Amino acid sequence: MAVSQNISTSFVGKRAPDFSLDCTQQPTEPGWTTRLSDFLDRWLILIFYPQDFSLICPTELTALSDCVTDLAESNTSVLAVSADSIETHERWIATPALKGGLGHIRFPLASDPGGTVAQKFGVYAIAQKVAHRGLFIIDPNSIVQYQSLHNLNVGRSASEIMRVLKALQMGGLCAENWTPGDSQIELLPAVKPGARVAQFRIIRQLGQGGMGAVYLAEDENLKRKVALKLLPPHMTRDPVAKTLFMNEALSAAALSHPNIVTIFDVTEQAGQIYLVFEYMDGKTLHDLIYSNALSAMQALEFARQICKGLEYAHSEGVIHRDLKSSNILSDSSGNVKIGDFGLAMSKNGASYIIDGALMGTLHYQSPESTRGDTTDARSDIFSLGVVLYELFCGKLPFTGEYDEAVVYSICNEQPDPGRLESEFCTQLREIIFKALEKEVDERYQSVDALSHDLDSLRDGELQRT
């Protein structure tokens, strides 16, 4: 990839700037608005390009579009951004390639009129009023892991982007001529369909987060499908990271409840630690929320189930500490279960802060967690309040363009009542806002109390008429 200059600000290792962009993918389908928060727990390749109907842009975008299936298997989304309008995007997509158009595209194009978002990322060419060819690879925790800026007149190689992404996901160094088949760099071996880890045959990757990759696998001894979570080797060497991962097994394996994902086994083999737990055949709560797939009554039923699972964990002395919508899984029968106890603890203690960074997903953290103060079960209740707000409002209650702004919002601002005020009964709003109280002593003191109030809601009175 030809690099012409450095981006004016280095974002690597920092949270990506928030954005809100109108998108389209097919002229015959309605557009939508996408935000950075939509990509939590997924990798994102964020591409800025100069202009529709240009000579070079179609080549690089269509080449990357051909990689979408492979990207989906590695839990990665693509978003391409230019200053063109949605109408221009749609016309470009509808125009055949032989006539200078883009034709079919398998990821969305976003409109950034005026270059507002491009300026946030430091890639706006003011004189030309277009974006430079900026490339950002953002991890599932919204942290920028790679960035580069290219000459306006030079295209990008899709294979090069894939090479860098693969190296980042494996947690290894990325030499200039490295390819996934090279063995001289110490990386987590590519776990592909058909590969075997102990008695488990890999079927496909389900997702990847800060604490490891998760795969659907077949237990060939017990003839059942399971979810397999592998900790990357570079984290295995980190005693803190290793302890966090082992805590997930030790804490969750002791729990047995219909609304908690069951842990089957945890083991270490040849330096590789892996966790085996039950496979849930549905979507995450996050996916259900942002695809508008839930009715109000389904949302209330899921809320009640989440409360029951968390209430049981607390009764067993286990505090989750990373509760969020993407850690709550559904099955085909309409049930939800809490998973990913990677930061769980069995007693009160300080928040995990490693190398100055808060462990856990920032948008769901309680005020005391963001300060590094002592936390207890009531911190989980705040996170539960965030999930409930997200469940009924379709958005996060606390946002900001950078981490400090999010922390300020969590600690000082009241969420916008939004749909809680316009669509739902007053009692539901009161329940959620009580869970989101800034002061620990003003919050619900137990999930049992919150669950009791939810159960008192009559189904027919949930929504305003």
**Residue 188 counted as domain residue:** no
The whole domain housing 54 covers 20-170
> Which of these ranges, 76-80, 127-131, 155-159, 192-196, has the smallest mean pLDDT?
155-159
Average the pLDDT over 319-334 and give the result: 90
| Best mean pLDDT range from 195-209, 296-310, 326-340 | 296-310
Span 135-158, pLDDT tens digits: 999 998 888 989 988 765 556 778
Beta strands in 220-355, from DSSP E residues, in sequence order: 224-230, 263-269, 272-278, 328-330, 336-338, 349-350, 353-354
pTM higher than the cut 0.95: no
The residue among 243, 278, 313 that closes a domain is: 278
**Residue 178 counted as domain residue:** no
Residue 276 pLDDT greater than 50, yes or no: yes
- Give residue 453's pLDDT: 94
**Residue 15 counted as domain residue:** no
- Give residue 301's pLDDT: 94
**Residue 147 counted as domain residue:** yes
Q: pLDDT band at 353, cuts 50/70/90?
A: very low
Whether residues 85 and 147 fall in one domain:
yes
Q: pLDDT band at 334, cuts 50/70/90?
A: confident
Q: pLDDT band at 409, cuts 50/70/90?
A: very high
Whether residues 300 and 353 fall in one domain:
yes
Whether residues 450 and 307 fall in one domain:
yes
Dump the DSSP string for 185-196: S--PPP--TT-E
**Residue 214 counted as domain residue:** yes
Whether residues 272 and 407 fall in one domain:
no
Span 226-253, pLDDT tens digits: 999 887 655 566 666 667 667 666 767 8
**Residue 118 counted as domain residue:** yes
- Give residue 3's pLDDT: 35
Query: Which member of 41, 84, 322, 380 is catalytic?
Result: 322
CATH of the domain at 438: 1.10.510.10
Number of domains within the chain: 3
Whether residues 32 and 96 fall in one domain:
yes
Average the pLDDT over 419-444 and give the result: 93
Whether residues 250 and 381 fall in one domain:
no
**Residue 179 counted as domain residue:** no
- Give residue 349's pLDDT: 44
Residue 355 pLDDT greater than 50, yes or no: no
Whether residues 307 and 210 fall in one domain:
no
Whether residues 220 and 331 fall in one domain:
no
Whether residues 237 and 328 fall in one domain:
no
Span 73-108, pLDDT tens digits: 888 999 999 999 999 999 999 888 777 788 778 999
**Residue 48 counted as domain residue:** yes
Compute CA distances 35 → 48, 125, 192, 228, 352, whole Å: 15, 23, 30, 30, 27
With a pLDDT cut of 90, the percent of the chain lying above it is 40
CATH of the domain at 246: 3.30.200.20
Whether residues 249 and 290 fall in one domain:
no
Whether residues 253 and 389 fall in one domain:
no
Q: Is 322 a catalytic residue?
A: yes
The residue among 278, 304, 333 that closes a domain is: 278
Whether residues 217 and 117 fall in one domain:
no
